[in-house]
Amino acid sequence: MKWKNSAAMLPDMKREYTLVGMRHFCRWLRGSSLLLLVWTMQTTVHGQELTIAEDKELIYIGGLSPFILDQGDVEASLTSSLLSYWNVFNGYRPNGEFYSNIYRLSLSDNIVNVSYGFDQDGKWDLGAEFRYTFRRFDDAARNSPFKVFSGDEPSYAGFSYLGLRFRIAPFDNIPHLTFQSSVLFPQADKSKRSALGADHYQWSIYGTYYSTLTENIGYFFQAGWGFYFPGAASNSMINAAQGAAFLSFDILANQLFLIPGLSYSGSYDGSMQSLSQGLFGMIVVQWQLGTKFSLNIQQGIPLIFESQQPGVSFERSSFSSTALGVRMMFDN
């Protein structure tokens, strides 16, 4: 479709979200709620008195935690996200006429992580990751982001990645500093990998650090680099830089925590030419029941959101990013 004025289109777009969007959101939330209910019914949670500033195992943001499991302990988590924004393509036709077309990219990654503590000193653990993806590149930009779950073209869905995750705390004198590495292997049919955005073999390295300011206030840093190696349908190498900083506030008797922060992400091609840059304000609300169960919701707000690719731009006002996370801890 022709793109004239994105600000003028936004009110109409929001009205169109109301019926279609809520229907697909209810379907998405129903599936997440069912899994949450099953996990809750199968687990006995002990209501211990523990503040977020007293134990780093309470911190869990976007699937990353500075916590290393003790030997025999198990950590299981589910993170379900929905990201959507407009891609604007500008250029000239052979006759010299300028054009500007806009498309909506919507992406939902649903990630299950299960980790097990192998080391008797609690210095490292190992886990597996399973990822199921919904993706839609829609030429009807005013469509709701929730249409990614509709099942009709051009929506695609499938088991996209399987991987391993390794976490280690190597320094006895800095126990709150941990390093994490994950390797992901594409699992979707080769005919669907490009449509799912799941063609690259991925290797990521992260560092996380957690400490306290007061009894009820802590802070959390994370930084990492990802390598996206060429796959069957893609011959390009992509590098991804990420970093984030958060403050954690205990606002309701060790049960409800507010975690604001800033997150940066940047992508680069194989020759380290910038492809995109983003700086986002983050708000995380986490509900904690003892030390064994946590539920959080995460919202991203774009402060900087830019494409460095010729003829391509992102419409910042169209951006939306929400993630739901649940985590269970099982003692040996």
Q: In the predicted model, is pLDDT for residue 280 greater than 80?
A: yes
pLDDT tens digits, one per residue of 115-147: 999 999 989 999 999 999 999 999 888 899 999
Average pLDDT over residues 11-23: 40
How distant, in Å, are the alpha carbons of 97, 104, 218, 312 from that of 93?
5, 22, 55, 15
Percent of the chain exceeding pLDDT 70 equals 79
Q: In the predicted model, is pLDDT for residue 63 greater than 70?
A: no
pLDDT at 119: 94
Average pLDDT over residues 294-298: 92
Tokens matching residue 138: 């829609």
Show the beta-strand stretches assigned E in 253-310: 256-269, 274-289, 293-307
pLDDT band at 13 (very low <50, low <70, confident <90, very high): very low
Average pLDDT over residues 281-306: 91
Tokens matching residue 103: 């498309």
Average pLDDT over residues 250-276: 91
Rg value, the chain, Cα = 21
* Contacts with 50 (C-beta within 8 Å, 6 or more apart), sequence order: 58, 254, 290, 291
pLDDT at 212: 86
Domain ranges (residues) in the chain: 6-330
CATH architecture of 6-330: Beta Barrel (2.40)
More confident residue, 109 or 47: 109
| Backbone torsion region of residue 240, taken as left when φ is above 0, otherwise alpha when ψ lies between -120 and 50, otherwise beta | beta
pLDDT at 210: 87
pLDDT tens digits, one per residue of 209-256: 988 898 889 898 999 999 999 877 677 899 999 999 999 898 987 788
Average pLDDT over residues 257-285: 94
What is d(CA 193, CA 254) in angstroms, rounded to the nearest whole number? Answer: 43
- Burial code (b: 16+ CB inside 10 Å, e: under 16) for 89-103 equals eeeeeeeeeeeeebb
Provide the pairing of β-strand 217-229 with 201-214.
antiparallel
pLDDT band at 6 (very low <50, low <70, confident <90, very high): very low
Q: In the predicted model, is pLDDT for residue 9 greater than 50?
A: no
